[in-house]
Amino acid sequence: MTIPTPKSPIIGVFDSGFGGLTVLRALLPLIPAAHYLYLGDTARLPYGSKSRETIARYAVSSAKFLHQQGAELLVIACNTATALALEDIQQALPIPVIGVVEPGAQAALTANKELDPAQNWVPHLRDGLIVAKVGEAPQHSNKVDHVLVLATAATVQSRAYTRALNLLGLAAHEKACPLLVPLVEEGWINHPVTDDVLKIYFTEALTAAPATQTLLLGCTHYPLLQPAIQRVLASLGHPLTIIDSAHATANAVAACFPHLITTTIGEPTCTFYATDSIEKFQHLGSNFLGQPLKEVHLLDLGG
């Protein structure tokens, strides 16, 4: 009897730039059997300051390209595109599309030890869409977990995390941290200036929301700052459970391929596309992926 070899899925990962590589980084060890297509729309970044219509147009054209290249499941590894254009992308494509906001919010719920683990989110496919059993609001408890969300100004303005967290019965406080992405891109990941900036942002946020127990990193750049964040929170005497959307999203994707999570069929393979300078993409991207980027192609999507 021949046991059929499970087919290796092709997973598309999309971001306006480099940050989504932290989601890919989390995916590689979880689903090593997959082939990954990553698109960074670097010629049109940042999406954060653009209108909803423009973001949707850019994100849909990028998503369609990855589908045309064979992607069978698409990860929107970008907070702004998820917050403002997830439904547009889901409507435009006949494949499952997973964003970063809902998995991040679900992971914050899971982190709340007060809740019954049986209520936690189990994502699965139905009619080509990711659906989930939403955890019930913790009405049995008077204690509502307060989640602090750090994100870019555009993501905070969209209130997408607040909506997702409130739906799960969690209280949310969102804090825009516009300097963190430039600091990461400058390479100042473990740097006294970055610690000072984090201290200012956390002092403001924790003064406004002192009941905070959980910290949600609502930007794909921020996982690179996790050691600095832990250092600063310790110095402020206010340790928090840290959730990053990158790992939460990777786990949500992995839950769609339960038969592949434990397989070790070969090494994961990746093809990268960037809409602006390949050299810059390779140079900066390797910091986010934690390994060199091979096979980067220049792509013209117009705009």
Chain positions contacting a second copy, by CB under 8 A = 42-43, 45-46, 49-51, 54, 178-179, 182-183, 185-186, 192-193, 196-197, 200, 276-277, 280, 303
Task: Give the type of residue at 218.
Answer: G
Q: Which is nearer to a second copy, 193 or 265 (CB)?
A: 193
Burial (CB < 10 A; 0-12, 13-18, 19+), residue 261, is middle
Nearest C-alpha neighbor of 59 from the set 103, 17, 108, 30? 17
Count CA atoms closer than 13 A to 20's CA, side-chain side.
32
Q: Which is nearer to a second copy, 90 or 220 (CB)?
A: 220
Find the shortest distance in angstroms from Cβ 298 to a second copy: 10
Q: Which is nearer to a second copy, 182 or 239 (CB)?
A: 182
Q: Can you tell me the distance from the alpha carbon of 161 to that of 164, in angstroms, rounded to the nearest whole number?
A: 5
Q: Can you tell me the distance from the alpha carbon of 123 to that of 277, in angstroms, rounded to the nearest whole number?
A: 36
Find the shortest distance in angstroms from Cβ 75 to a second copy: 23
Tokens 């995390």 identify what position? 161
Find the shortest distance in angstroms from Cβ 107 to a second copy: 29
Q: Which of 177, 219, 256, 270 is catalytic?
A: 219
Q: Can you tell me the distance from the alpha carbon of 197 to that of 12, in angstroms, rounded to the nearest whole number?
A: 34
Q: Can you tell me the distance from the alpha carbon of 295 to that of 303, in angstroms, rounded to the nearest whole number?
A: 24
Q: Is 78 one of the catalytic residues?
A: yes
Q: Which is nearer to a second copy, 60 or 144 (CB)?
A: 60
The H or E element spanning position 23 is helix 21-30
Find the shortest distance in angstroms from Cβ 3 to a second copy: 49
Q: Is 177 one of the catalytic residues?
A: no
Q: Which is nearer to a second copy, 117 or 302 (CB)?
A: 302
Find the shortest distance in angstroms from Cβ 136 to a second copy: 38
Q: Are 195 and 229 in contact (CB under 8 A)?
A: no
Q: Can you tell me the distance from the alpha carbon of 133 to that of 153, in angstroms, rounded to the nearest whole number?
A: 30
Any idea which residues carry the catalytic annotation?
78, 219
